[in-house]
Structure 1
């Protein structure tokens, strides 16, 4: 049986009872429903009918705004990303790499993480979906990590010469592999090992 628990904090985890709500509430319910549907059935089986039922609304609000499910999912991608401002830096590179990675892990667990992974394969077959996925989900994550490293370089903790496009690409690829593609949640021990054995050696001379 599918797990309908909502560890990612979304408001919609089960089929909602239809009640009188304002436009903003309906839109939020639809957005939350899309994420849960992606997690449970995947992009290929997501329909306006299933989203409307889970959101506790009729299909007319969906048809008025989105021409198809691809457009609906694309507009929902922002909910799958993380807010980099949610992590408060310590100013110590090792601590920040561990802390920031733990923060990223916490925002990609549960239903949101499952939805995240379900889109990876589909995005490769849909250029528009892939572009929005990168712009709204992956790029903010990578930009925040790069900014953290550049701040460390300004403090003299790492050499700015080490922060080449290739090194940054390797770091980003590792993050995708360990945080996104793994089906189990990373532990603090996993993250510390990754930072000490891979991330820091790549950037510290």
Structure 2
């Protein structure tokens, strides 16, 4: 008797769950999926993330995932791309020091909590997955680096720094520092942290000569 009762209970629960899932709109389901991806990255990493685990955590079926993403790499990259700060949204002041501080603040404002943990987890694993690493660089890191490089070249055009200082090696050092301090630190950088980085490293590096 109890076995039949348990089976009936599970059937009712599954019916209720399916009903609840279908009542959510597309935007709500998508947001639940994005949140689930971040949580999975932070908790278990990219290597153990699956469509099944994301669907379960998001409280949805697997169909919405299979319809939109061909693989977990595409799912993860789309999630991070949508949740990172957009470099184009930063409004420049036209003063290099203020822009270096403001731009870094803008790009790191979302790197905290689960989002920050997911980002760091992915950075730590990406080298083992060539396709993921390639897309991660192209769609997440390079837009950040390109915006920073453009900011510096504009400052050189204004005469604040010499364009001769903006060599590939100098730019690579700047990019590496941004990754280390802005994206890999476990605490959220304060304006004071960023100001010290700009005044003690970034500006001396591009103004030396």
TM-score by length of 2: 0.82
Q: Which moved further from structure 2: 163-172 or 51-60?
A: 51-60
Larger Rg: 1 or 2? 2
Residue in structure 1 matched with residue 196 of structure 2 by the alignment: 193
- How far did 1:27 drift? 3.1
* 2:187 pairs with 1:184: yes
Q: Equivalent residue of 2:147, what SS?
A: helix
1:18 aligns with 2:21: yes
More helix by share: 2
In structure 1, the gaps of 5 or more residues are 1-16
Give distance in 2, aligned partners of 1:103 and 1:65: 30
Match of residue 97 from structure 2: 94
Report the Cα offset of residue 80 of structure 1: 4.5
- Structure 1 Cα separation of the partners of residues 140 and 150 of structure 2: 16
Aligned counterpart in structure 1 of residue 174 of structure 2, from 149, 167, 171? 171
Unpaired segments of 5 or more residues in structure 2?
1-19
Alpha-carbon RMSD? 1.9
Distance (whole Å) between structure 2 residues aligned to residue 153 and residue 115 of structure 1: 36
Residue of structure 2 aligned with 1:115, choices 111, 118, 121: 118
> For residues 122-163 of structure 1, what are the alpha-carbon distances to aligned partners after superposition, in whole Å with 9 as ceiling and x for unaligned?
210111100110011101111111111111111100001111
Matched pairs, number = 189
1:24, distance to aligned residue in structure 2 (A): 4.5
Contact 1:49 1:59 in 2 (8 A): yes
The 2-side partners of 1:37 and 1:106 are apart by 21
Which ranges of 4 or more aligned residues in structure 1 deviate by more than 6 Å? none
**How far 1:40 sits from its partner (Å)?**
2.7
Q: Does 1:73 align with 2:54?
A: no
Look up the SS of the partner of 1:107 in the other structure.
coil
Once residues 124 and 21 of structure 1 are traced to their aligned partners in structure 2, the CA distance between those partners, rounded to angstroms, is: 37
